[in-house]
Amino acid sequence: MTQTFGASSTTEDVLSGVSLKGKRVLVTGVSAGLGVETARALAAHGAHVVGAARNLEKAEQATTQVRADAARGDGRFELVALDLADLGSVRACADQLNATGLPFDLVIANAGVMATPFGHTKDGFETQFGTNHLGHFVLVNRIAGLMRAGARLVNVSSAGHRFADVDLKDPNFEHTPYDPFIAYGRSKTANILFAVAFDARHRTRGVRATAVHPGGILTELTRYMPAGGIEAMVARINEQAAAEGKPPFQFKTIPQGAATAVWAGVVGAADAVGGHYCEDCHVSPVVPDDQPISLVSAGVRAYALDPVHAEALWAKSEEMVGEKFS
């Protein structure tokens, strides 16, 4: 019997009765928020979790409970260094993982930044596109050979993809006025398109890829927003919701926010989630690009799942990072 999960489901709900003993998982961004809870839930159910983080000292402190729950659940947890804003660090991390030869059953590309001031990664890419997309693009493709048949890639995207499609002519805002949320939207759309293209390339060998929206959660991701910015955004959302006769917006807890990535990586049917976008522990409907959509209503923009668009982003990403991936 298949259990139905939803917006209020937690990581423990979706993993109830599930043993992940013998499974090996990579989770990026395990120094705070969703990454820590994702790693904890998987390790607590027996998985060997490799957590990647830029600041290992911070990650060590943040994952004390992960280690404790891993020990109780017969799982394992270890850390590796990864700075997604530095392709030298990304390649070194991939080399370290490849050197072990140990396969992965699940890769969750969770790390990211949101609404940062205008800036560049070490390699000269706009900060959000470079960190959220290009860093993961290089890492995942470099370790793709470690993903065994039946493995999955889960890219943590956002409803923020609705702010903007990718701009393949000006990805670094060299000719476009910079807007932090437009940049965020571009990077989150890229996360989805990357999953679409990766799924198309690897499904024949039994490896699937999907993208997920965790929901609205108060985490360190909001640290670049101005004082009162979150409150103002919620007020606008609730004003629209009231006009439509809908209940007010409620933030998810971190275990609820991490649930969709865990569900898509472990519980959801591979053919259902592969090449798609998920939210609230289910596959989202596609909303045509010309149809109105609010920040909190369900659905994914059609441009984010367009396979031709996904291939164009793949080619542009290869050009930008100077590497070709099959």
CB 55 within 8 A of CB 82: no
Catalytic residue among 178, 184, 277, 303: 184
Distance CA 295, CA 250 (A): 13
Distance CA 177, CA 183 (A): 10
Residue 303 annotated to the active site? no
Q: What is the pLDDT of residue 194?
A: 99
The partner residues of 104 in beta bridges, in order of sequence, read: 147
Q: What is the pLDDT of residue 251?
A: 86
Hey, CA dihedral for 255, 222, 120, 83, is it positive or negative? Answer: negative
Task: Give the predicted TM-score (pTM) of the model.
Answer: 0.93
Cα separations in angstroms, 70 against 24, 151, 152, 221: 13, 21, 21, 26
Q: What is the pLDDT of residue 1?
A: 38
Q: What is the pLDDT of residue 243?
A: 79
Residues in the chain, pLDDT under 70:
1-2, 219-225, 295
Distance CA 237, CA 215 (A): 14
